[in-house]
Structures are given as C-alpha cells and as structure tokens.
C-alpha cells in the first residue's frame, strides 16, 4: 500500500473525469495561495472568501480545458486574475465603509473573520494583525488594477510583461501601478517598520481597552 | 551626474528583486536611505505572506463550503449548459432562416456559410428593428395652473362723445395741426350715459 500523495497530474486527470474529490484535493493544495491574494485584494474577510471560492468554481467549470501546457498553478492564477478583474467591475467592491480583512476577534472560530494562525494575543501576533490592517488599508487606496499588479509582482514574482499580458494592459501601466503601491505602503508602514516594539506596545494597550 | 529622482524607479526594482544596491548608488545618502525604507516596507509585507494564514479550523469550514458549492456545479453540467447556450445562440437565426427558405438544417451546407448568413440576417434585423418600431408620440399632460392675483383694480374711464353731428374729418384734415384737434379743447362735449368699466387683474399694487 502506497502512502504517497497523488501528483497534480493524476488529480487533474481525475478531476477532468468529473471526480469531485480529486478536484477538492487540488483545491486543498492551492487554496491558501489564492486566498492570500484575495485577502489582500479585498477589504473584508467575507469578500475574500467569496472571491477565492469563485476562482475555484470557475476552475472546476473549466478544468476539462486544461491542457498541461503550463503548470496547474499558472493556469489557476490566470483564472484568479480574470476573476479579480471581473469582480472589480461589479458592485461588490463599490460598497463604502467596509471593515478591514483583519479584525480583533476570537481567533479560534472557523468564520472568515479569523485570519491569523494563532490563538494567543501575543505582541507579535497583534503586531502582525495591525501590520496587515495597514497594508490592506494602504492597498485599498489604490485602484483595483494597481493593487492586483502589486500583488502579482511582489507576492507572485511575476514579471511586468507577464502581468501586462494577464491584465491586458501595457507593462508601463503595470510598472506605474506597482511603484505607486509601494510608495503608499512605504508612507504608511515606514514608521511602524522602524519601531515595531512601539507599535506592539501601543496595540496591546488598544486591545486591552 | 547622479540624480536621485531618476534612480527612484530603479531602486524599487532593485528592492523588488531583493538585489544589492549598486556601489554607485550606495554612495548617495539619499538613495541609500530611500532604498532601506523600500526594503523595510517590502520585507514587512512579504512577512505577511507567511504569517497571515487562517487557522486550521477555518480551512475545514472553507473546504466544506467550497465542496457544497462545487457539488451544485459539476463540470459536466456547466459544460452542457455552456454548449446549450452556444447552440441556441448560434443556430436560432439559422433555424429561422431555414424555415423561411423552406430548407432543413440537416442540409449538407458547410456550417460556416449558414452561420455567416445567420449573423448577417441577425445584424440586418437589429439594424431594421429600431426604424420599424412605431414612433412614440410624446404624452401631453395638461395641468391647469392657478396664477395668484395680487390685486384687483377697477379703472373707470369716462368717455366723451361729441353729440353734435359733425362731418367726419378727412384724412388730410386730421393730419393738419390745429387747436380743435388737441385734447385740451373739449368744448361742446358731454359725458355719455354709459360708463364703461374695465377690470384689470394682476395690476401692480402701488400703481395709481
């Protein structure tokens, strides 16, 4: 009896033959990466879950068209980008006054609001939460395209040309968007990045209040 | 000559690629500080990639919800629906065309030809449709509007009439200047028995 996990190719073939379990196994492998992008792209945790699940739904509908020309993740990322871009056109993201993706809530729940892998309010954890809030808040000031360009460049390591092809725009536009995103983040985070201890102390005080 | 503004874009690229700052740029204090700030920002955000992970309990719920959604939408079902939509949209005009021409769809005509004809017909129909539609006449609504009357004013005009039968003056005579034609001379005139009243509505209140 072999305990080796099936390869992506095996799972893809099975998924193409309508095997839902195989597709769910694939989703388990890549869900975190997709969710990470979605949680940075959206402004609240529920939207991030909805968007990331929509990506999987689209992937499932189109899995028969996957031809192994590229890796499964590259193909999936393409679907992700399209889903993000289509979502930005809907009224989904036009709501105002939304809560941030990270909320100081009980972290052992299985709701989308519980974003961090920690059950303790350790200073480091709180610092990370506030850092994440700041990052998402700074990214929220950008246009969806600029935000997506930054995430793809910084988190996914894609080149400007790849991003431009995927987003159907010029690489100059992508470059400008990334530059703008970093400028915003730098302005927002520079103080905190230099003094994490001070921020942590402040955040602990706030959490206790 | 080194220009800090010009190198800003380059600094972002170097920081994104996690490369080392070239010696030429590290000699400039301003560029070095800028580069360090960019690096710190990107390091902080990159750290979130590792630390911002929902807990295990979240993922079990996430996958359960995903499975529920996927069960409703199997790929075969989705594909069948897609094919149905494509089939219906591409062959509906063709069927109509076939009926009109008394031909069946099962003819041996290659698919692109009738498809092209169908698209042309569709465009023609779309082009004709707006002009064929009867022009809609604008709906006229009559709404009586009451204008408030500021003040009613009664004007009494006394008309003098010459009771003596005098011949009508000719045009030439009337044009000729003379004292008899002036208003000041009312000799021989008497007031009429009738008084003509004219009521003027909406006059100016202070008018005298």
Distances, alpha carbon B103 to alpha carbons B94, B97, B98, B160, in Å: 10, 8, 5, 96
Q: Do B41 and A190 touch (CB under 8 A)?
A: yes
Contacts of A118 in chain B (CB under 8 A): 55
Report the distance separating Cα A95 and Cα A112, nearest Å. Answer: 19
CA–CA separation, B33 vs B55, rounded Å?
37
Cβ–Cβ gap A182/B58 under 8 Å: no
User: At A128, which helix (H) or strand (E)?
Assistant: helix A123-140
Contacts of B46 in chain A (CB under 8 A): 154-155
Q: What is the CB neighbour count within 10 angstroms for residue B61? A: 16
pLDDT tens digits for A26-56?
A: 999 999 899 988 888 887 788 888 999 999 9
Query: What's the token pair of residue A2?
Result: 């072999």
Q: Which residues of B touch A102 (CB under 8 A)?
A: 52
pLDDT band at A160 (very low <50, low <70, confident <90, very high): very high
For residue B124, being part of any structural domain is answered with yes
Percent of chain A exceeding pLDDT 70 equals: 73
CA-based nearest distance A102→chain B, Å = 9
> Are B57 and A118 an interchain contact pair (Cβ–Cβ within 8 Å)?
no
Domain annotation for chain A: domains and CATH numbers: 1-97 (1.10.1740.10), 100-209 (1.10.10.10)
Does the distance separating the beta carbons of B52 and A132 come in below 8 Å? yes
DSSP H/E element including B200: strand B196-201
Q: Is residue B143 part of a domain?
A: no
Nearest CB partner across the interface for A116, out of B47, B52, B62: B52
Is residue B90 located within the same domain as residue B120? Answer: yes
Size of interface A-B (CB pairs under 8 A): 138
ipTM over 0.90: no
B21 lies in a domain?
Answer: yes
At residue B85, the pLDDT reads 54
Using the predicted structure, report yes or no on whether residue A163 has a pLDDT greater than 90.
yes
Question: Does residue A203 register a pLDDT over 50?
Answer: no
Q: Hey, what's the torsion of the CAs at A54, A160, A130, A125, to 10 degrees?
A: 80
Q: Cα(B84)–Cα(B81) distance, rounded to whole angstroms?
A: 5
Q: Is residue B99 part of a domain?
A: yes
* Chain B residues in contact with chain A using a Cβ-Cβ cutoff of 8 Å: 9, 12, 15-16, 37-38, 40-49, 51-63, 65-67, 69-71, 73-76, 78-79
Cα distances from A57 to residues A62, B57, B114, B134, B146, in angstroms, run 9, 22, 35, 46, 64
Chain B residues lying within 8 Å of A63, measured CB to CB:
75
Measured distance CA(A196)–CA(A28) in Å, rounded: 34
Residue A30 pLDDT: 93
pLDDT of residue A91: 47
Do A107 and A114 meet the contact criterion of CB atoms below 8 Å apart?
A: yes
pLDDT score of A208? 46
Residue A151 near residue A41 (C-beta atoms within 8 A): yes
Q: Residue-wise pLDDT tens for chain B (208 aa)?
A: 677 777 777 888 888 887 777 777 778 888 888 888 888 888 888 877 777 777 778 888 899 999 988 888 765 565 665 566 555 555 555 565 556 555 444 445 566 777 788 888 888 888 776 554 455 666 666 777 776 666 666 666 666 666 666 566 555 555 555 444 445 566 666 666 666 666 666 655 554 4
Report the domain count for chain B.
Answer: 2
Q: Is residue B79 part of a domain?
A: yes
Residues B121 and B80 in one domain: yes
Question: Between B12, B40, B54, which is nearest A117 by CB?
Answer: B54
A chain contacts of residue B73, beta-carbon cutoff 8 Å: 57, 60-61
pLDDT tens track for A87-143: 766 544 444 444 334 433 333 444 444 444 445 567 777 777 777 788 888 888 888
- A199 is written with which tokens? 């921020």
pLDDT given at position A52? 92
**Closest chain B residue to A187, measured at CA:** B41
At residue A127, the pLDDT reads 77
Q: pLDDT value at position B163?
A: 63
Chain A partners of B14 at a C-beta cutoff of 8 Å? Answer: none
Question: Is B176 among the domain residues?
Answer: no
In-domain check, residue B42: yes
Interface test with A, best of B14, B48, B65 (most A CBs within 10 A): B48
For the entire predicted model, the pTM comes to: 0.58
Q: B78 in a domain, yes or no?
A: yes
Instruction: Using the predicted structure, report yes or no on whether residue A148 has a pLDDT greater than 50.
Output: yes
Alpha carbons B131 and A39: distance in angstroms, whole number: 50
| Domain boundaries, position B78 | 73-129
Domain boundary among B111, B129, B147: B129
Q: How confident is the model at residue A76 (pLDDT cuts 50, 70, 90)?
A: very high
Q: Give SS3 for B75.
A: helix
Which of B82, B109, B129 terminates a domain? The answer is B129
């Amino acid at each position: 009896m072999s305990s080796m996990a099936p390869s992506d190719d095996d799972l893809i073939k099975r998924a193409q033959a309508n095997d839902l379990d195989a597709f769910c196994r694939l989703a388990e492998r890549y869900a975190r990466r997709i969710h990470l992008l979605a949680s940075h792209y959206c402004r609240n945790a529920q939207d991030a879950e909805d968007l990331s699940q929509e990506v999987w739904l689209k992937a499932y509908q189109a899995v028969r068209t996957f031809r192994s020309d590229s890796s499964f993740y590259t193909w999936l990322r393409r679907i992700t980008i399209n889903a993000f871009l289509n979502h930005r056109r809907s009224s989904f993201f036009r709501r105002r006054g939304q809560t941030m993706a990270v909320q100081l809530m009980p972290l052992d729940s299985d709701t989308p609001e519980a974003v961090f892998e920690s059950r303790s309010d350790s200073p480091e954890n709180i610092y990370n939460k506030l850092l994440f809030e700041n990052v998402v808040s700074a990214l929220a000031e950008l246009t969806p395209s600029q935000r997506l360009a930054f995430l793809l460049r910084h988190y996914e390591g894609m080149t400007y040309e790849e991003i431009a092809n995927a987003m159907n725009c010029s690489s100059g536009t992508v470059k400008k968007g990334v530059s703008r995103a970093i400028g915003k983040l730098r302005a927002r985070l520079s103080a905190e990045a230099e003094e994490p201890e001070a921020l942590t102390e402040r955040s602990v005080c706030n959490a206790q209040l | 000559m080194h220009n800090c503004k010009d190198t800003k874009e380059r600094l972002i690229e170097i920081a994104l690629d996690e490369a080392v700052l070239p010696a030429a740029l590290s000699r400039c204090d301003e560029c070095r500080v800028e580069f360090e700030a960019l690096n710190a920002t990107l390091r902080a955000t990159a750290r979130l990639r590792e630390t911002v992970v929902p807990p295990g309990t979240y993922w079990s719920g996430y996958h359960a919800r995903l499975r529920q959604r996927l069960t409703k939408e199997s790929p075969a079902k989705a594909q069948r629906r897609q094919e149905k939509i494509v089939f219906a949209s591409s062959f509906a005009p063709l069927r109509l065309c076939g009926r009109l021409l008394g031909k069946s769809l099962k003819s041996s005509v290659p698919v692109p030809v009738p498809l092209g004809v169908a698209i042309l017909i569709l465009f023609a129909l779309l082009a004709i449709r707006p002009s064929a539609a009867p022009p809609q006449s604008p709906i006229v609504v009559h709404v009586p509007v009451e204008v408030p009357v500021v003040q009613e004013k009664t004007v009494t005009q006394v008309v003098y009439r010459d009771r003596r039968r005098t011949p009508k003056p000719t045009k030439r005579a009337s044009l000729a200047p003379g004292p008899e034609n002036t208003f000041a001379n009312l000799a021989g005139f008497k007031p009429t028995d009738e008084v003509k009243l004219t009521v003027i509505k909406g006059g100016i209140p202070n008018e005298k």
